[in-house]
Copies of this chain bind each other. A is one copy, B any other.
Amino acid sequence: MATLKDVAALAGVSTATVSLALNGGPVNEKTRETVKKAALQLNYFPNKIGRMLNSGRSNTIELVILTSEAVPNIVRRTSLFYYLMEGILAVADENNLSMRFAVKSYEDDDVNAYFSELVGGRTVEGVIILPQFAQASGFTQVLERGKFPFVMLRPAAFGTDVSFVDMGNYEGARMVAELLTGCGARRLGIINGPATHVDAIERERGFTDTLLDRGAALVAKVNGAYTIESGFTAMQQMATKKNLPEAVFCANDYMAAGAIKFLTGAGIRVPHDVAIVGYDNNDMATAIEPELTTIDNRFFDLGTALATNLLALIKEPGRHLSTTIPPKLVLRRSHAPDADAGKARGHGTRRSRGR
């Protein structure tokens, strides 16, 4: 591997000149040419580690997803994160940054050590964190103490003393409740995710608050595990009780699919007998019958917001930035019998795997 020195030797100039020449510094255009030719000839590309050490900048950011072993697979590994990563990458690319990716479990008790090393290692300039669970953990202090730029994806309701992007779960669930009560439902149910999941907490809160505001009632609640099966059995449980809710909000599309599966199998029509709304606008939403009315989290946009804020923090540390990306209602056919007639407010169906 050729180094600066090699190029300098070949071009017959000093390493300083080569550095200047290659980085657009003030050198004679003729020497610049000579240097460039030498570099080309040696197939020289700068060793970035040398540059990093010197400049103190690694031009790298990291995404770390926190998970918990205490919870089923599907909750920890949402492929939706892939779209978020693409959002991060989009702004990283624009700014000539690389992105690192890591997954750490809260149960790895060295998670704090991980962040300490991250701070001291200087190998990334900032970190985007998806905490996922409302779990006590000292990593924020570690980061704050090291004055290390970081942004979390989590609800504003959890405190505004750090930088975060809020995906608007409360607002999204509110939209669901408004839609459903607007269609006339008075007795509603919820199939929620795990009780400690940050999104689940907010979705339930938004749904319930709005429901009551509207004079409707929450008559059934089951916590599922975000899986198709758990949606199926949750709905089964609800069905065994006296009277089914008129409408059920499922805190993700997997559970909604499971719920619909149970209902259809039991000869209960969706949405005629019971209306269903999901959350996430997962790819499967248009694969099932009826197509699922749901909430789009805009994961790509969340990614760009997260990255944009992180970059701002890297440039100007010491502030606390917060953004919320409001989710979008995606009207399809599972929430009301007349949905096809086209309700006033609809965005309509989007492409099969919208986002």
Q: Shortest distance in angstroms between A124's beta carbon and chain B's nearest beta carbon?
A: 9
Chain B residue contacts of A264, Cβ below 8 A: 289
A288 B286 Cβ-Cβ under 8 A: no
Q: Shortest distance in angstroms between A145's beta carbon and chain B's nearest beta carbon?
A: 7
Interface 0/1 of A53-93, CB less than 8 Å to B: 10000101000000000000110011111110110010000
How often does this chain occur in the complex, in copies? 2
Interface 0/1 of A256-282, CB less than 8 Å to B: 011001001000000000000000001
B89 A102 Cβ-Cβ under 8 A: yes
B103 A101 Cβ-Cβ under 8 A: no
A117 B53 Cβ-Cβ under 8 A: no
Task: Give Cα A23 to B151, complex, Å.
Answer: 32
Which of chain A's residues 1-45 have a Cβ closer than 8 Å to chain B?
1, 43-45
Task: Give Cα A237 to B45, complex, Å.
Answer: 53
* Apart from A43-B146, A89-B102, A258-B352: 7 A-B pairs, beta carbons within 8 A: A45-B116, A45-B119, A48-B121, A98-B100, A254-B283, A261-B289, A282-B283
Report A's interface with B, CB cutoff 8 A: 1, 43-50, 52-53, 58, 60, 73-74, 77-83, 85-86, 89, 98-103, 116-117, 119-123, 145-146, 227-229, 254, 257-258, 261, 264, 282-284, 286-289, 351-353
